[in-house]
Amino acid sequence: MLNNKVRVENEVAAISLMKDALSALPTRLVPDVYGWNTATEGKGWIVEECMHGESLSKRFSELSASQPEDVLVQVAHMFKLIQNYQLPPTVTGFGGLNFDSNGQVVVGGLTIWFGGPFQTFQDMYLHIFRKQLELSETTPLVNGWEGTDLRLRFQQFLNEGMPKVLENYGNVRLTLVHRDLGKSSSRSSHSQSPSTPWTFMSLLSKARNVENLLIDPETLQLTAILDFDFSHIASPADEYFYPFPSFHGIVAGPFEEGEQRTLNEAQLNGFKDFKTPTSQEEVDWNLAKTWHSALETAGVESPADIDGIDELAAVYWFLLDVCPPYFLLPRWLKRKTIKQQQALKKETEANLDKYLKRWGY
């Protein structure tokens, strides 16, 4: 599921850009690279600097008074620099990151979904759709959605519908995306089971039990941002589809229910005239509002500022549902009974049906 042939150079190239993007900060957050070797020449490896600090999520629940706001403003300022980073002229297009023969950073293949570089943003998303269809053929749980009408509808949407949906994203700004800032507290866009992973990245983070932002437990200052092997070039919206540290930063799809639906609406509306729900079983509303306030303080383009992010979120979560990453993990499937597996399949199929009907397919 991972393109290990490009994973090492993708991380090293991303580190190079991240160092430049965050150079204005008073603290150096990006680790140095002491040596590396591409997997195309054998086993890929990297020797990186060991950064000090503890994971942000480990300390976050212990903060009191104004401390959470202070920390989130730091994260938002860092995010602002990444989001607004002026990419070097050698980076022309979308996809993963690599080096040319002169050692300059260029666009390359994606670590996930393989493929790339891509000339246009639409090309990248259409490739992801094709790759997800290909992956769905490899899992016996859905077997390419054989026996359903989804197969034909997928092809029709791929050939006709999705290019039209993506027409509005022809001029998106080339944006450096980290893609794995930390563990997500959110749940699957179609499952009410809290054990259901959110994305492939959150699966990996859960497996490694890591978060990719470190903090000094004494000063509460950020000390590091880590793990760039999934970093790539996409749009300003894309970072909001991937795991943030656990302060409700993800923009979900259109079929959420309950508190998650309310959160999505609040994010897209900039929390204007927002009234805090009485229920806080799924969402820490004070934390969600504090995060949005931090984005405003730092001048970050929030979900409310990005035109079309709601429709692009629908496309992204639809693509994830075409072949949910955990359907490809034998160990995960073995922990589920046949009945549970079939229930998840049925749930996913129903969600895909809703997406396709939403677009007229």
What is the pLDDT at residue 43?
85
User: What pLDDT, on the 0 to 100 scale, is given for residue 188?
Assistant: 37
Phi and psi at 163, nearest 5°, equal -55, -35
Task: Give me the pLDDT at residue 242, please.
Answer: 86
Strands (E), the chain: 33-37, 45-48, 54-55, 96-99, 105-108, 175-177, 213-215, 222-225, 232-234
Read off the pLDDT of residues 322-341 as tens digits, 9 standing for 90 and up: 999 999 999 999 999 999 99
| Cβ atoms within 10 Å, residue 210 | 16
Residue 113 Cα distances to 90, 127, 315, 358, angstroms: 23, 8, 16, 25
- Spatial distance between the Cα atoms of 188 and 256, rounded to a whole number of angstroms: 9
Q: Give the phi and the psi of residue 180 in degrees, each rounded to 5.
A: -150, 55
Cα torsion at 186, 187, 192, 196 (round to 10°)?
Answer: -140
The tens digit of pLDDT for each residue in 244-300 reads 767 888 999 999 999 999 999 999 999 988 888 887 788 989 889 999 999 999 999
The pTM of the full predicted model, rounded to 2 decimals, is: 0.91
- Cα–Cα distance measured from residue 78 to residue 59, given in angstroms and rounded to the nearest whole number: 19
Percent pLDDT > 90 in the chain is: 76
Using alpha carbons, select from 298, 289, 181 the residue that is nearest to residue 240. 181
Residues with pLDDT less than 50, the chain: 184-210
Cα–Cα distance, 75 to 201 (Å, whole number): 19
Task: Using DSSP, state whether 161 is helix, strand or coil.
Answer: helix
Predicted local distance difference test score (pLDDT) of residue 183:
56
pLDDT at residue 82, as a whole number = 98
Which pLDDT score, from 0 to 100, does residue 182 have? 67
Q: What is the pLDDT of residue 181?
A: 82
C-alpha span between 328 and 340 (Å, rounded): 15
pLDDT at 133: 98
pLDDT of residue 63: 81
b/e per residue 72-103 (b: at least 16 CB within 10 A) = bbbbbbbbbbbbebebeeebebbbbbbbeeee
pLDDT tens per residue across span 170-188: 999 999 999 988 654 433 3
226 vs 224: CA distance, rounded Å: 6
